[in-house]
Structure 1
Amino acid sequence: MYKKVLGNVPVNIKYLLDEGGEKGASALAAETVLSKEALGADCCLWDVTAYREEVLGIWPIERNSPLLALGTKGLLRVELYTQTATVLPPALYGTIVPNAIWRLLWALNSLKDVREEVLIEGFYDTLRPANDEIVEQLYTLPDPARLLAERWGMKQLLLGLQGFQLHYAHLLTPTCTVRSFTDGTSSSQELSDFLPTVAGAQVDFSLVPEQSPADIFAKLQRHLHEKGFADIQVRQVKATPPIQTTFTTSFTQLIYQATSEANGHEPILLPIAPSSTPDALAQSLPPIVITAQCGPQDEEQRKDENIAVQYLAKAIKQMVLIFFLLGSKS
C-alpha cells in the first residue's frame, strides 16, 4: 500500500511476531538469543493494535484514544520451596515436628510489610526519583481507580490508591507479589490427618528501570540466609530487565507526532507499561515504544482480539506516517 501511494519504503523494516502469552514470550526469547544480529535495529515499535489488557492495563479512555508507552517494567519470578521431612508425620506431632507451611509463610512474611514496603536489604538502592517530565505525564493520566475496583468487586484498591498516587505506584514502584502457594498434598483429607512436610510458592518481583533481576535475585538469597531461612530453596523461573525510552528521544517524538496526526489528537502517554513482555525484546533490541490504537474492546471482540475497521484504518495511517517521517529524517 505504501509503495503504491508514496513509492519505495524509505527505511528497512524487520518484523518480529509474538504469539502472545508467557509461553509465546519464552519461545520468542529463545529465538532472539539465537539471532541478535538478525534483529539489530536503530529503534523498535511494539504494536498492540488490538488493545491487550495484559500489556497496557485498564484505562477509562474513549474507544478512539490512542495510547503510547515508553518501555516496560522488568520481572524476576522465583520459586521458593521447603521440605521438613521425607515421611508425613501425624498431625498430633505438631508440637515437636516442624511444619513446612509455617516455615514458608514465615519466610514470605519477611519479604514485605503491611505498608507494601519490600524488606529485602538494598532492594530500593538503585532507584532514582522520577524526573519532572514523568511526574507531569502521570498527572495527565485518567484515574482508573473506580473502574478497576468495580471490575474486580472491591470497595477500593490497595491502600486506597487513586489518581496520581495510583499511577506512581502502578507504573514506577517495584514490589513483590505471591502468585501461588502449595502445600504439596493431593487432598484436604491428607492435609487434615498429617503435618505438611512440603511447601512451595511462586513469587514475582516487578522491577522498574535501574533494577537488575540478577541483582535482586542475589539480594533475595542473601536476605533469606541472613533472616534464618537458609533451608528455603530458591529457583529463578524468569528474569526480564526493565526497559525505558525517554520522551525526549527523536524516535519517541516521531512516534508521538505520527500517532497524533493519524488520530487528529494527542495520544495518552505512559512513562512505562506495567507489563514485562516481550522479554526477548528487552534482551536485545534498542529503545522501544509501545503503541495501541484503540481503547478496550467489548467482550465479543476481545475473544478473537479483533479490531474495529475504523481503528484499523487509523493504525495503518499511523504506520505509514511513521515510515514517512523516519525516511525524511534519514
Structure 2
Amino acid sequence: MTNPIHEYIEKNRDVYINWLTEFCKIPSVAAQNRGMKESVSYLEQLFNEAFNVDAEVLDTGGQPVVFSHLKGETDTILSFYNHYDVQPEDPIELWNTPPFEPTLVGDRLYARGIADNKGNLIARMAAVHAIKEVVGKLPIDIKFIFEGEEEIGSINLGAFTDKHSEKIHADGCVWEFGYRDAENRLEVSLGVKGLLYVELFAKGANTDLHSAQASIIGSPVWRLVKALNLLKDSQDRILIPGFYDDIIPITEEEIQMIRQYNISEIELLEHLGIDNFINNLTGEELKKKHIFEPTCNICGIQSGYTGEGSKTVLPSEAFAKIDFRLVPGQLPNKILDLLRTYLDAEGFSDIGIRTFGEEIAVRTHPSEIIVKAVIETIEEYTNQPPNVIPNTPGTGPMFELTEKFGIPAVSFGVGNFSSYTHAPNENIRVEDFIDGIKMMASFVFKYGEMMVRRKEEK
C-alpha cells in the first residue's frame, strides 16, 4: 500500500536536501559566536517558506531560541528539540572536504553539523512540511524548539525554560540526536547521562622560566599531574569519596534492555584502530559500563611549549579540562563539592577549579506512549526492531526541557555509525536523511493515534 506522504517526500527530496545543504553552509559555531545571527535568519526564512508562519525568536541572555507552535486537529502536543549551533571545525587540516561547503561523496554528505544536529533539525521540519502539503493539516500540535547554545553547555536554557514554561509544555518530546549502529539498525535512546565539566589549574612562578630553574622552583605541571593521578585508579574506578553513593540502582527492566542492546564490538574496535576496551571488557559487562556507569575523562591538558622542536622552559601555569559523565541520582553540584573536598583533603587546596557546564541525567520509562510509538514506527518502516538503550552515553540538556516538566523524551534520527560527530569529516548518508523524514512523518500520525486511544481508554 503506497503512502502519499512518503511519495511526496521522495518527489521533493532535492528540496529537502537543499534546505539542509544551505543550512550547513552557515558556520554557526556558538563557542566562537560565528554565524549565529545568520542561522537564526535562515531558520526564520525556512519557517516562512515551509509553513507560512513567522517563527518566534526568543531571547535567552545568550543565543536566542527559535520557536514555533503549529496547531493540529487534537489536543496532543509533540515537541521537537534541536540545536542550530555546531562544534568548531578544528582540526581543519584533517577534513577531506571543506567543512562549511556541504559535499556529496558517494552516498554521503559531508559538512560540519550535518549529523549533529542540522540533519535531524531539517528532517523534522521536512516531515511536518510534507504532512501539511499532502493532508492540509496536522493530526496533532507540533512545537519546534531550536536552541543555539547546546554545544557550549546550554548555559542559558534552564533560566529560559523557567521563564517560558508554557511554551515548553508538551505530551512528549523527540530529542535532538539519533544514529544507526554498525549493523545499520536504528538506535532509540530513552535518555542522556548528566555532566560536570571543569577545568583544574595550577599556578607556579609569575612568569615562565628557563628550565634550569627547575632545580629550585616548583613546577605547576607536575603539581597538576599529581592531582590528576588522584582521580582514578588503574581499573578506571573513580576515587573521589562519595562519588558513587547517590547512584540510583538499575532495575531488572533496564538490565533486560541492556541484554537486548547491541554493541558491534569487533566493528567498533576496527573502526577506531584499537585492540581492546577498558579492562578488556566484552559482552554484557561492557554494555553495563558504557550505559550505566559514570566517567571521569581528561578532555585536554595545556601548559608550556608544545610546538615543533625544543624549548627548555619551566611553565608558570598548567590547565586540564575534565568532563564527568553522570548517571541518574548524581547531581553535578554535589559532585563538584566532593571533588573540591577531596583535593583539599589530599593536600591540593592550591589546585583551582573552574566550572564550564552542568547537566542532570535523565531516563524515560520504556512504558511511555511516545517510546512505544517510536518503536512501532521503526519496526513497520524497516521490518526490524530498533536497537533500544536506556540512555545514550552522551549528554544534553534533556532535564531542563523534559523531566523538569514531566515530559517523556525519546531520540532517533538520521546519523550513522561513522558520522564522526564533533570530529573531522562529519557526515550522514543521503538515504538515511530521506528515510528519517519519512519515518518522522509516520511517527507523528502513530503518536497522535496512540494518544487518542489512551485518552479514550481513560
- Tell me the TM-score range normalised by the shorter chain: 0.7 to 0.9
Q: Deviations over 1:80-117 (max 9, x none)?
A: 11111103333223232111110000001101111000
Q: Where does residue 230 of structure 1 map in the other structure?
A: 349
Q: Deviations over 1:229-256 (max 9, x none)?
A: 1001101100011111111334433433
Q: Where does residue 303 of structure 1 map in the other structure?
A: 427
Greater shift in the superposed pair: 219-228 or 39-48: 39-48
Matching residue within 120, 127, 130 for 2:250: 130
Q: Where does residue 15 of structure 2 map in the other structure?
A: none
Identity %: 26
SS in 1 for 2:412: strand
Alignment of 1:270 onto 2:270: no
In the alignment, the residues of structure 2 paired with residue 79 and residue 24 of structure 1 have an alpha-carbon distance, to the nearest angstrom, of 14
SS in 2 for 1:260: helix
Instruction: Compute the TM-score of the two structures, normalised by the length of structure 1.
Output: 0.84
Alignment of 1:168 onto 2:288: yes
Matching residue within 208, 220, 227 for 1:100: 220
Output the aligned Cα RMSD. Answer: 3.0
Q: Where does residue 35 of structure 1 map in the other structure?
A: 164
Instruction: Report how many aligned residue pairs link the two structures.
Output: 319
Matching residue within 308, 317, 323 for 2:442: 317
Rate the CA distance shift 1:132–1:24 in 2: closer, same or farther, 3 A.
closer
SS in 1 for 2:195: strand
Q: Deviations over 1:42-83 (max 9, x none)?
A: 32121546x3xxxxxx73222xx3321111011110001111
In the alignment, the residues of structure 1 paired with residue 164 and residue 447 of structure 2 have an alpha-carbon distance, to the nearest angstrom, of 26
- Is contact 1:145-1:156 (8 Å) kept? no
The structural deviation recorded for 1:271 is 0.8
- Is contact 1:73-1:241 (8 Å) kept? yes
Alignment of 1:257 onto 2:257: no
- Is contact 2:140-2:444 (8 Å) kept? no
The structural deviation recorded for 1:27 is 6.7
Rate the CA distance shift 1:323–1:89 in 2: closer, same or farther, 3 A.
same
The structural deviation recorded for 1:296 is 3.8
- Is contact 1:32-1:284 (8 Å) kept? no
Whose RCO is larger (CA < 8 A, sep 6+)? 1
Q: Where does residue 289 of structure 1 map in the other structure?
A: 410
The structural deviation recorded for 1:316 is 2.1
Instruction: Compute the TM-score of the two structures, normalised by the length of structure 2.
Output: 0.62
SS in 2 for 1:44: strand
Alignment of 1:12 onto 2:141: yes
Q: Where does residue 183 of structure 1 map in the other structure?
A: 303
SS in 2 for 1:80: strand
In the alignment, the residues of structure 1 paired with residue 443 and residue 137 of structure 2 have an alpha-carbon distance, to the nearest angstrom, of 17
Q: 1:61 corresponds to which letter in structure 2?
A: E
Q: 1:166 corresponds to which letter in structure 2?
A: L
Matching residue within 191, 197, 201 for 1:81: 201
Alignment of 1:45 onto 2:174: yes
Q: Deviations over 1:155-175 (max 9, x none)?
A: 112221222112111111001
- Is contact 2:208-2:315 (8 Å) kept? yes
- Is contact 1:83-1:100 (8 Å) kept? yes
Rate the CA distance shift 1:303–1:175 in 2: closer, same or farther, 3 A.
closer
- Which blocks of at least 5 consecutive residues in structure 2 are unaligned? 1-129
In the alignment, the residues of structure 2 paired with residue 202 and residue 44 of structure 1 have an alpha-carbon distance, to the nearest angstrom, of 32
